[in-house]
Amino acid sequence: PSLLVRDQWIDRLRSDFLSDPDVDLSQYVSTDPAAEVVFRVSTYQSIHQRRGEALPACELLCLDEAHHLRKSWWHTLSQLAEHHDCVTLSLTATPPYDAAAHEWANYDALCGPIDAEISAPELVATSDLCPHQDLVYTAVTTCSAQYMRNVQEEAESFSQLRADREMLAQIAAHSWIVDCKKHADEILNNAQLFSAMLVYLQDAGCSVPTYARRLLQIEIADIPSLSWDWLEFLFAGLKKDLPATILDVLVRSGALHNDRITLPACKFTKRTEILQDDASRMQACLEIHALERSIRGPGLRQAILVDRVGRLSLKSALPTDGYNAASMFQRLLSDGDPGDLAIMTGQFIVLPRGLAEGIESKDLPDAAGYVLLMGRCFDAAVTRANQAFRSGKVRVVIGTQAFLGQGWDAPSLNSLILGTNLSSFVAVNQLRGRALRIDRFAPEKSANIWHLAILPDEDVVGEDLTALERRFACFARIDRDAGEIRSYFAPEQRSDVQNAKALRLARSYETLHSDWAEALDVGDDIGGRLVRESCV
């Protein structure tokens, strides 16, 4: 799916299969899909653009990062595989389990059923992945008052909409309630609206007609509690006759727009955006960075991944606000830079000046010793940055998840800060995968993977944490205190306690090898202990 992945396949073909470094690789490998060589390595984009051409036959079609093959690329690759009648080998660490049904059907039609699935703990046991730990670091939002005000407004809005006298009178006088038996067919054709009426009456302490319960074959105890969903069903179904009191509340809260009712209102469903404020996330990343630098010293190989680039910030000689790659770079500079930082995004690269010799570059204002590389020299700059990270001349890379989140081959990476707002299974697992690779030059490598949770206050609760718990349910991780491999996350109750625990575990990264071995309990008779928990 990217030039980065394509070029790494070629690099690995050379390093893993050619003992003579002087061999001309071009006689075996080409990036031209029409070339007459043994191996053709191409991006899906390139194949898609040339989908009308007749390409030479192939015996094996290897589809790397196959979770991308769900839409246009899927159609093109399906035609290619069918035309050449070749063996298809599909590879992915993240099947698109959270994709739409039709996209999953496309993926499944091309890739077929899973022939082999190897879990991360199995790969750690066989030394194909490095020992690692997922750590959660919390920070209290700087917008706590705004957040709590939003919570209070939602509660008040819900309270005003329930047990409204005019609404109750209207429902009680509705023909479906007055004579359920006579209107049974209508009711059964719109059982959802009728159920919403019963839920509203029950919540207000009003009697529910006996025949209504008999018609739906339910008991009083079966009637659920009133919720936003039931209110939306009720008001949407009766919106032509809603009383003024209800309409006023809907309008004030923003739940009524273009005659469409959305409950809860968008300002409540998007409350998590308040928790995604720049200042608290930035500070959390800086604190984690400081800890990792202090404990790993020269051995640190860290990546801080964010969602935005912030290119214009680099043109300013003054520190800028915001939460992006450029602002993160500026903050690390202001905190005392040892000269080993880099920025890697899809738009530009920033490197220490000494590492950019022979490549066209521009000096950065107020960032002595660093240069900006982009344009025609971009590919060369990426290669130079990767080499510097491998050798340790660059120890900290600030980048975007869009550029480095998939396919970035950095085996030396041992500290990953996920400063992004992503929640999907595929995206998060791809990001984690950057740090899980073994380093053939450092067999003792172990990795810390940091997840951020921004909280409304010191209590470890809130929408951001809920999203994080869903994220953790997607993969198995080691719980070092319990000595088990788990697929869930149970945080401490207070922010300071949770952070103290995360910092303690981070400092003891050197014992991750032995902790994983003990948790896996590797032996002839006993398998690893994988603990799964379902939270209802």
Residue 474: predicted pLDDT: 76
Residue 316: predicted pLDDT: 64
Residue 532: predicted pLDDT: 47
Kindly tell me the number of DSSP H helices and DSSP E strands found in the chain: 23, 18
Question: How far apart, in Å, are the Cα atoms of 503 and each of 136, 280, 471?
Answer: 9, 18, 21
**pLDDT over threshold 90, residue 14:** no
Q: What secondary structure letter does DSSP report for 69?
A: T
**pLDDT over threshold 50, residue 274:** yes
User: How many Å apart are CA 522 and CA 518, to the nearest integer?
Assistant: 7
**pLDDT over threshold 60, residue 528:** no
Question: Which class for 474: exposed (0-12), middle (13-18), buried (19 or more C-beta within 10 A)?
Answer: middle
Band of pLDDT at residue 522, cut at 50, 70 and 90: low
> Other C-beta atoms within 10 Å of 13: how many?
16
Residue type, 68: H
**pLDDT over threshold 60, residue 149:** yes
> Other C-beta atoms within 10 Å of 237: how many?
16
CA 203, distance to chain mean position in Å, is 38
The dihedral region occupied by 54, where left means phi > 0, alpha psi between -120 and 50, and beta the remainder, is beta
Residue 425: predicted pLDDT: 65
User: How many Å apart are CA 171 and CA 36, to the nearest integer?
Assistant: 76
Mean pLDDT of 35-42: 92
CA end-to-end span of the chain: 37
CB-side exposure of 369: number of CA atoms within 13 Å?
9
Q: What are the start-end ranges of the H helices in 62-183? A: 72-84, 101-111, 120-125, 144-161, 165-172, 175-178
Residue 304: predicted pLDDT: 96
Query: Rounded to two decimals, what is the model's pTM?
Result: 0.76
Paired sense of beta strands 447-455 and 132-140, if any: parallel
> Other C-beta atoms within 10 Å of 480: how many?
17
Mean pLDDT of 265-293: 88
- Asked whether the beta carbons of 421 and 454 are under 8 A apart, the reply is no
User: How many Å apart are CA 135 and CA 288, to the nearest integer?
Assistant: 11
User: pLDDT tens, 365-399?
Assistant: 777 889 999 888 888 898 899 999 999 999 999 99
Question: How far apart, in Å, are the Cα atoms of 447 and each of 268, 303, 310, 439?
Answer: 37, 11, 28, 11
Paired sense of beta strands 302-306 and 396-400, if any: parallel
User: pLDDT tens, 171-187?
Assistant: 999 999 999 889 999 88
Residue tagged 């149970």 (tokens): 490
Q: Which residues contact 160 (CB under 8 A, 6 or more apart)?
A: 249
**pLDDT over threshold 90, residue 508:** yes
